[in-house]
Amino acid sequence: MRTVLVTGAAGGIGTRLRKLLKGAYPQLVWSDIKAPANLGTDEKFIQADLADLAAVEKLVTGVDGIVHLGGVSVERPWEEILPANIVGCYNLFEAARRKKVKRVVFASSNHAIGFYPRTRRINVDNVVRPDGYYGVSKAFGESMGALYAYKHGLRVTCLRIGNFDDIPVDHRRMSIWLKPEDLVQLIRIGLDHPDLRFEVFYGASDNERGWWDNSAAFRYGYKPVGKSEAHVREAMEGQAKLKPDPVADWYQGGMFCSMDYDSDADLARY
């Protein structure tokens, strides 16, 4: 990879990656619908709306690899999810195909599988169980990645990102925490590993209480350095401040599952 484009440059993850990826590739290009704060004079930024296919085609021209973080990053009404996360995701993959981009690393989410109970350990072969429209959009993106990998030859890595933060701040995040440096490691595997065609990895650090079998990532050399058990005290202090929520506390997706929840299903059966 010589030229790598990162979308979603103004978001929380994108902002951290602007520092963590610096110098990793000969040229980094950053993009978002709005300019990031504190953009450095040495940072190349191109403003673009993912919902505009022509703009996205222009954006990816001359790019070798893409890290696609762009789009709505939380649960929102469908009318907001659709243009950025569905249309925008299609545009990104289609533009990459047209402009002969070699690789795409797609930022999926744990919310694509949020409706699995915390009592169940899952791997990447378990079917998706999105916990909201945001999770649906991430499941869609994974499917688009598979289509463009197998039909059009793109090399695609989908990262089901857990909780990206410096430390886990409550009990749930002890299981899904992703240290920023570990995300960089996963991104670089997706961009650089010679044998990768299409893979789904869990974006999680070395979490003793984790719910996800991440052996797919380990096969490609992933060696997480973050250990959530090192932050038990901070996480339990944060947990003590939260109100009980029987739905959120049962499912892996947490409060995304309890938003607008009106099912009468017996939680313990699922």
CA atoms 17, 202, 131, 266: torsion sign: negative
For helices 180-192 and 12-20, angle between their N-to-C axes, nearest 10 degrees = 70
- SS3 assignment, position 115: coil
Active-site residue 270, yes or no? no
String of DSSP letters for 33-94: SSPPTT--TT-EEEE--TT-HHHHHHHHTT-SEEEE--S--S---HHHHIIIIIIHHHHHHH
Q: For residue 18, give both structure tokens.
A: 């602007």
Q: Are 200 and 124 in contact (CB under 8 A)?
A: yes
Q: In what order do the strands lie in the sheet with 44-47?
A: 44-47, 27-32, 3-7, 65-68, 103-109, 155-161, 198-203
CA 262 vs CA 188, 257, 259: distances in Å: 41, 10, 9
Q: Are 197 and 262 in contact (CB under 8 A)?
A: no
Length in residues, the chain: 270
Catalytic residue among 90, 133, 134, 148: 134
Point out the residues that are catalytic: 134
